[in-house]
Structure 1
């Protein structure tokens, strides 16, 4: 009897041991080859950047706390980096995929990104971050689903649809960046793409024959979650679906106060998700429209993206004129008020059970204040450049985070000013030296003539205020200190300011940039360096084993870099193999005991 009891206890121990071995957050794996293909989204054959021969690339569909492993093989003819727009990379700026943290993936090499979508939900996207490559594609959507145990503030939708919109040129990215480097403007885009396709022929004069357009198949009476991302270069777009309301429910990881819109301005780099109920006459199709904002519409008519919403039992084509966009070319107040109306749903949870509104940001003392002011392009040392606070950023040959890790000197400077410089603008690798666990206020002052959107890697920030004119200390009296939306990309209207608050709890080196690709390419960015001063720093993951070295570190031993998928087992596979071996040894010992 005692032997049976002992045997039972040992079996229980084995089960517990096995459960612990297999416990932990799941891994999700992707293998990508990034290469050129020929496509004709606007009827003109051109070279675009594809992932696994697809343009746009595949959707990364994961769940909160998943570990994401993406093996990227660079089959382009130039270096490559992929950045994960809105993914916070907790304690892991090594995986951010920008030049301040990571050396580019050389031609013919591969690099495996590994990061966790820790305590995140929502709608994001990825794209190539260097050499103006996003202008040729290489982008795709990211969906981070809630865990099943966490309540969502709306019923389960009947389907999930990702829509990538953006302005597009029939010249590829190399020609566009040559034009920028030569001091030229890009000029008006050739069109707007929806999921990599051109417009439906709603007008034979404006849209030629033979254009492939996107169709979204739906069923009458059902409700779909539609995730919209503006992946374009520099054009703000207005999104709308003929005859249908857009119920806004989430933006860039935050559940919002649920409001119906007939149309919404989506600026470069921004992401939203809506619930759309198919409650219209199901016998016809409907237009899905993305059109340029704040432009002369008589000149920009051809720069309109049009797709088709197709009911399963539809018998007729979409008809009539396109649904109207707001008519406020000379007055951007409507759009600003629309932006102000987007607020956090403080009664909803997010990735964790506690309500996201419980973070009382309005009562936290600010430790750092930075006024980042941009202006129209300037000439510095004979080159056309863009600036933030009088500084046009120059990427050093050695990434900032690598320079810190190996204690290299002179790679960058920690002298970025809190207030805009008053002298002549300069080119520099100047970095913001932020306070770990501080609470930073950033005022984005746009003295240019076009809308700019700004993004901060590694963080979501609270958008607490925006208005026309110059920001002053008195502007704080207008801040929303309770339910300002938390997101990672915000618009700044021309001749206006936007104020954000961010809690600096994520160590690393993080990119703060304009999402407008032309302005970014010419220097409108800065890095925020957040270092834990403790002697034993356990708040950041160590440098990855597969780190690529460049600049002053180029002679260090490099990781294996062939683009052929390795047949050797992954780290996860090896860990499971060891656990299985230990289990077998334990079972062998138990069997021996009872012989």
Structure 2
């Protein structure tokens, strides 16, 4: 009976075309809805996934096909974005306005993409309407295949930690403040895994707040994956009396170095190896505290969780472990960032692809110097800019406009250097050359740290320094083991240089991760098109694509079978599989 059952299950799955021996599928159902929670002791509306805040961790392996059916139970449109997860050949699944029409309220839509040749620590979040400020996020882990070695002993456990600044006002109130030309002001706290601070100080932390506790066994090594999912605050992460051995960042193994603490900027992800080698005389503090802010004012918004050994003899007590003492040293954090290096001897998702890519010897074909400034009024509204352009999202997504050859939706005229004259709003896009090698200089003329993210790619971080970038700055570049990642910080009054190999066809979002600046227009897209029409370098538009803007009339009413039909678009296979499953059920009942 067991062998017959297994055979029938295999037949049904293969008929659907959902898996193969090489590339399995992983299925997730996400119901995105509002719940009431009190992470800082104040009841508020938050966005949950499957009733949980934060949402579940997506945990898959290299080359898996990931299918996520998203049910939008919000009262507004929704898109889910997979931050740092490269949708190879398919920007259709990226979940940002430039590539996808939003999922209407009360609808569901199924994402399907492959985590091709990737490993690492990432996260997902809702990308529209300032919704990330209300939650809706969760971890995204991509593991190595068993046949590919990792550059450290297999850890005894894997722990996801999501840190971020938090407001007790809901996301609609926060975005209205921005639309009214106001700043958000100081956050009300820092959350760790959706929970407020442990009461380490009775005068700073009110009683009754639920805090996160992470339980570990003594004498073990754990992989700790930490992502800053907040709005706009750089955070310093540390664990009392423990070293953090940095091992990976956003899909790249790093040279392993110990840190007592590490600055994690908005949108960034790291994984550390944590050895539980202390005597467990008490529990230990896990701390996420604001960086580059007035410490006296910001003490009350420090995030504190508890690391608890199974043989712990008491509660954590005493002062929190100290943050970096660099008030008068502008270079401390930058030097720490420069110390993060690529492990060029490690295998990645494939045997040793990290060290085999000699990025420093490739000729640059395109150079863009992108400068941001503090918010400025454009057409009566406070807006943010790159090269004096504040991005205006088109009603018809760029990728959809290309598919149907619509004219006038966007312009391929994004300036290669800052414009002179008055800032303007525009839908101006970078025209990338397929298989070109692009150098981008991110110049931060704001007074706050800005973090930049590029969808669809891992770029090489080759340099950063204070002052204005010049051609001579290339003499300081790291051309050998600069880390490859998707999100990088740029310090105030400083620049960061990145290199990108444009081998992923599609329309890819380049933006600040600081949610307030992003919402006000500090973004653009890089459009990469293969000129060879017969070369299959991009996946076709999915069968379940949504239509909006100039193509709104093409949108059909919501189809209740959209999950099944979107996977392969073949209802006859689905029907036959249903019959097989009914047969299996009958056999089991006999």
TM-score range, shorter chain: over 0.9
Equivalent residues, number: 565
Match for residue 533 of structure 1? 531
Structure 2: how far apart are the matches of 1:205 and 1:116? Answer: 49
Structure 2: how far apart are the matches of 1:575 and 1:440? Answer: 44
Structure 2: how far apart are the matches of 1:143 and 1:286? Answer: 26
Structure 2: how far apart are the matches of 1:561 and 1:449? Answer: 49
Distance apart, 1:355 and its partner CA = 4.0
Match for residue 411 of structure 1? 409
Distance apart, 1:537 and its partner CA = 3.9
Moved more, 271-280 or 347-356: 347-356
Distance apart, 1:358 and its partner CA = 1.3
Residue 81 (structure 2) pairs with residue 83 (structure 1)? yes
Match for residue 34 of structure 1? 32
Distance apart, 1:273 and its partner CA = 0.1
Match for residue 178 of structure 1? 176
Match for residue 340 of structure 2? 342
Q: What is the aligned counterpart of 1:268 among 233, 250, 266?
A: 266
Structure 1: how far apart are the matches of 2:65 and 2:571? Answer: 14
Distance apart, 1:22 and its partner CA = 4.4
Match for residue 245 of structure 2? 247
Structure 2: how far apart are the matches of 1:370 and 1:223? Answer: 43
Match for residue 370 of structure 2? 372
Match for residue 3 of structure 2? none
Structure 2: how far apart are the matches of 1:396 and 1:570? Answer: 28
Q: What is the aligned counterpart of 1:482 among 468, 480, 483?
A: 480
Contact 2:234–2:290, Cα closer than 8 Å, also in 1:
yes
Residue 137 (structure 2) pairs with residue 117 (structure 1)? no
Structure 2: how far apart are the matches of 1:434 and 1:294? Answer: 35
State the SS of the aligned residue for 1:440: strand
Match for residue 293 of structure 1? 291
Q: Note the 1:314-329 alignment, pairs <5 A.
A: 314-329=312-327
> Normalized against structure 1, the TM-score is what?
0.92
Structure 1: how far apart are the matches of 2:154 and 2:21? Answer: 28
Q: Deviations over 1:387-425 (max 9, x none)?
A: 001100000100000000000000000110001001110
State the SS of the aligned residue for 1:528: strand
Q: Deviations over 1:286-322 (max 9, x none)?
A: 0000000011100100010000000001121111100
Unaligned runs of 5+ in 1: 1-13, 583-595
Contact 1:547–1:559, Cα closer than 8 Å, also in 2:
no
State the SS of the aligned residue for 1:258: strand
State the SS of the aligned residue for 1:302: helix
Q: Deviations over 1:330-378 (max 9, x none)?
A: 4331000000000100010000013411100000000100000001111
Match for residue 588 of structure 1? none
Unaligned runs of 5+ in 2: 1-10, 581-590
Match for residue 493 of structure 2? 495
Match for residue 6 of structure 1? none
Q: What is the aligned counterpart of 1:363 among 339, 345, 361?
A: 361
Distance apart, 1:328 and its partner CA = 2.2
Q: Deviations over 1:435-472 (max 9, x none)?
A: 00000000000000000000000000000000000000
Structure 2: how far apart are the matches of 1:260 and 1:573? Answer: 54
Contact 1:293–1:329, Cα closer than 8 Å, also in 2:
no
Contact 2:82–2:94, Cα closer than 8 Å, also in 1:
yes
Q: Structure 2 vs 1, CA of residues 567 and 396 (structure 1 numbering), >3 Å: closer, same or farther?
A: closer
Structure 2: how far apart are the matches of 1:565 and 1:56? Answer: 26
Task: Compute the RMSD of aligned alpha carbons.
Answer: 2.0
Structure 1: how far apart are the matches of 2:521 and 2:532? Answer: 33
> Normalized against structure 2, the TM-score is what?
0.93
Structure 2: how far apart are the matches of 1:454 and 1:147? Answer: 30
Contact 1:434–1:529, Cα closer than 8 Å, also in 2:
yes
Distance apart, 1:536 and its partner CA = 1.6
Q: Runs in 1 of length 4+ with deviation above 4 angstroms?
A: 564-570, 572-582
Structure 1: how far apart are the matches of 2:63 and 2:57? Answer: 17
Q: Deviations over 1:169-226 (max 9, x none)?
A: 0001000000000000000000000000000000000000100000000011001000
Q: What is the aligned counterpart of 1:99 among 97, 102, 110?
A: 97
Match for residue 194 of structure 2? 196
Match for residue 391 of structure 1? 389
Match for residue 162 of structure 1? 160
Structure 2: how far apart are the matches of 1:560 and 1:382? Answer: 38
Match for residue 42 of structure 2? 44
Distance apart, 1:570 and its partner CA = 5.6
State the SS of the aligned residue for 1:150: coil
Distance apart, 1:281 and its partner CA = 1.1
Q: Deviations over 1:533-561 (max 9, x none)?
A: 01224110111000110000000042634
Q: What is the aligned counterpart of 2:213 among 212, 215, 229?
A: 215
Match for residue 553 of structure 1? 551
Q: Note the 1:62-81 alignment, pairs <5 A.
A: 62-81=60-79
Residue 431 (structure 2) pairs with residue 433 (structure 1)? yes
Structure 2: how far apart are the matches of 1:288 and 1:573? Answer: 51
Q: What is the aligned counterpart of 2:300 among 302, 314, 324?
A: 302
Structure 1: how far apart are the matches of 2:264 and 2:429? Answer: 29
Q: Structure 2 vs 1, CA of residues 321 and 580 (structure 1 numbering), >3 Å: closer, same or farther?
A: closer
Structure 2: how far apart are the matches of 1:328 and 1:420? Answer: 32
Distance apart, 1:578 and its partner CA = 7.3
Q: Structure 2 vs 1, CA of residues 574 and 479 (structure 1 numbering), >3 Å: closer, same or farther?
A: farther
Structure 1: how far apart are the matches of 2:557 and 2:325? Answer: 55
Contact 1:48–1:137, Cα closer than 8 Å, also in 2:
yes
State the SS of the aligned residue for 1:298: helix
Residue 225 (structure 2) pairs with residue 227 (structure 1)? yes
Contact 2:544–2:562, Cα closer than 8 Å, also in 1:
no
Structure 1: how far apart are the matches of 2:86 and 2:547? Answer: 23
Q: Deviations over 1:11-53 (max 9, x none)?
A: xxx9xx99x9944410000011100000000000000000010
Match for residue 517 of structure 1? 515
Structure 2: how far apart are the matches of 1:368 and 1:181? Answer: 35
Contact 1:124–1:142, Cα closer than 8 Å, also in 2:
yes
